[in-house]
Structure formats: C-alpha cells, structure tokens
Amino acid sequence: MFRPIDSSAIDTVMEIQQAAFDVMENTEILRANTRDMLIDCLENHYSMGAFVVDDNGIEKMVAFGILYFPGSTDENLAQYLYDDIKNYDIYANMKLIIVLPQYRGQGLQRTLTEVLEYEARRRGIQELFCTVSPLNTHSHNNMTASGYEFIKLVEGKYDGASRNVYHKKLQ
C-alpha cells in the first residue's frame, strides 16, 4: 500500500534510514540525511511511503521515496547534462529511496520510482535525475531497469563520496 507522507512521519523515516545504515557494509553508498533535511523533504517536496499491515492489524511503514524539486539550486542535477538551462522547474530529482532490510527483494524501489514518476508528470516535470553510488549495485540495477541512463561519474560529490548521475525523460 502506497501513500504520500508528510513531516508527521519523520520519526519512522529516520528509523528506516538508521536501519539501512545498520546493515550497510560501506557507508559511502548513502548520504546520511539529517533530520532537518528530511523534514524539509517531507514538508516542501513530495514523499511516498510503502506500508504493510502486520498480523495484529497494525500498519507499518517499510520503505519511503522522495521526489525533490531543486529549482535553480546546486541540487539540480540537470547541470550535469545541460549547459544552458532556461527553465529549471521542469527537472526534478529522484532523491532517495530506502527499503527496510527485512522488506528488500520485493521490487519496492522500482515500484516507488514508478509512483513518484506519476506525481512528477502530474506536476509538469519533464526530466528526472538521480545519483547512485558506483558501489550500489542494487540501486544501479533498479534505476537502469526503470529507464534511467547513466550520464557521468561525479567524483567527490557528497562528502568526498563519488556518485554516478542518471537521467530519464518522462513520456
């Protein structure tokens, strides 16, 4: 079950991020987002949660994804593809998707990507970008399978960690 989430979900979002770091072999794979950064995403951008209902009928968020509208800030990844940008507002970032370790292997990253793309189209976004660590094979495979094309490697993008940048034109 997928549902948009807002800043009231911040505690669970932080717990999911922490759970991902707890099992990560190399922490260069993911940028550790601060609580304030994530609250900004939840309040001012667009975030989607994936929920399951446990045996006791209690709903639990097991994954989330964030669609980020960078406007003309440095976060706009279109800078890596285009030299002369007239309208920054047609670009957005598939910023972050995290799945709780116990719920991986069900294609939740791909499904969340699709759901966020639907919202991006609805808001007039024409092209999407994302960054993936060269060490993150699972995310690379998922984003490639979802139609994202590798553009370039940016060395030292986040706190010295390199990132591959990907791009997709929405139909």
Ligand X SMILES: CC(C)(COP(=O)(O)OP(=O)(O)OC[C@H]1O[C@@H](n2cnc3c(N)ncnc32)[C@H](O)[C@@H]1OP(=O)(O)O)[C@@H](O)C(=O)NCCC(=O)NCCS
**Residues 130-169 contacting ligand X, CB under 6 A:** 132, 136, 138-139, 142
Residues near ligand X (CB under 6 A), total: 17
- For the chain, helix (H) and strand (E) counts, in that order, are 4, 7
Q: Minimal distance in Å, beta carbon 78 to ligand X?
A: 18
Instruction: Select the span of 48-56, 75-83, 92-100, 113-121 touching ligand X (CB under 6 A).
Output: 92-100
Q: In this structure, which amino acid lies at residue 83?
A: D
Select from 38-46, 71-79, 103-111, 149-157 the region that touches ligand X (CB under 6 A). 103-111
Q: Which long-range contacts (C-beta less than 8 Å, at least 24 apart) are formed by 13-20?
A: 13/38, 13/42, 13/47, 13/61, 13/64, 14/38, 16/61, 16/62, 16/63, 16/64, 16/98, 16/100, 17/98, 19/100, 19/101, 20/98, 20/99, 20/100, 20/101
Give 98 or 120: the residue with its C-beta nearer to ligand X. Answer: 98
Report the site for ligand X in 6-25 (rule: CB under 6 A): 20
In the complex, least distance from residue 100 CB atom to ligand X, rounded to whole angstroms = 8
Amino acid at 45: H
Distance CA 132, CA 83 (A): 22
C-alpha Rg value of the chain to the nearest Å = 16
Q: Which of 38, 61, 66, 97 binds ligand X (CB under 6 A)?
A: 97
The tokens of 20 are what?
């991902």
Interface pattern 26-65 for ligand X (x via CB under 6 A):
---xx-----------------------------------
For ligand X, the binding residues (CB under 6 A) are: 20, 29-30, 97-99, 104-109, 132, 136, 138-139, 142
